[in-house]
Amino acid sequence: MYYNYKGFYSIVLMALVDADYKFIWADVGGMGLGSDAQFYNHCELKEGAENGTIGFPDPDPMPNGTQDVPYFWIGDNAFALRHYMMKPYGQRGLTKEERIFDYRLSRARRVVENAFGILSNRFQVLLSTMQHHPSTVKFIVTTCVILHNMMRMRHPRLQNQQLDRAENTNHYYVPGAWRLGQNLEDTQTVSGPPNTASMDGKTQMELIKHWVNSPGGAVPWQYRMI
């Protein structure tokens, strides 16, 4: 049951990472058999999001935005699009705005990749074969995740050296039109009545796509990246 599709034995660490590289939810110990999507489809996190018990914060505007946008997670193509789960368009023949959305989403996902990278570099036992019973492996991995979070909180600078910092000098936003509401016309068309709870995944995707393509949400180098 623990034999994975890559051809060795493993347990699954399914986790949600915040913008500060901390693990804010984790399910440790799933069997390696099966795909990420299958695992996610049966996990408590998804159920809690679907039945509304997960406790997302109330919607807030994006930076420089004026319109409330529900909080959401980002994932890759393995996950089903929902208003709380944004994923790439990921097909061919995309418009420029869609390619910018995909670029920005993949750029945000690097935080997640970095979190896993910091974790496994610090606790290199995670990179090795553990000669233990699965229940012990589960304890070891859970302990590493908890220690990682404590390190993030107590010594964040120590670990920042390990992060992917390629764009750190460039983090400014062009102010203006978005804040003034001039870019909101087509989002208002798609969002319909101001009942954010009923917004579906596509509508949410439109909102985010619009924001990353607006002066308030764009990063200046994004047009070179697509």
Ligand X SMILES: *[C@@H]1O[C@H](CO)[C@@H](O)[C@H](O)[C@H]1NC(C)=O
Rule CB under 6 A: which residues touch ligand X? 44, 47-48, 51, 53, 63-64, 173, 175-176, 179, 216
CB of 50 to ligand X, least distance (A): 8
CB of 175 or CB of 192, closer to ligand X: 175
CB of 156 or CB of 175, closer to ligand X: 175
CB of 70 to ligand X, least distance (A): 18
CB of 214 to ligand X, least distance (A): 11
CB of 52 to ligand X, least distance (A): 8
CB of 24 or CB of 150, closer to ligand X: 24
Distance CA 22, CA 152 (A): 7
CB of 124 or CB of 168, closer to ligand X: 168
* 3-state SS track over 37-85: HHHHHCCHHHHHHHCCCCCCCCCEECCCCCCEECCCEECCCCCCCECCE
CB of 69 or CB of 144, closer to ligand X: 69
Contact (CB, 8 A) for 49 and 61? no
CB of 84 to ligand X, least distance (A): 14
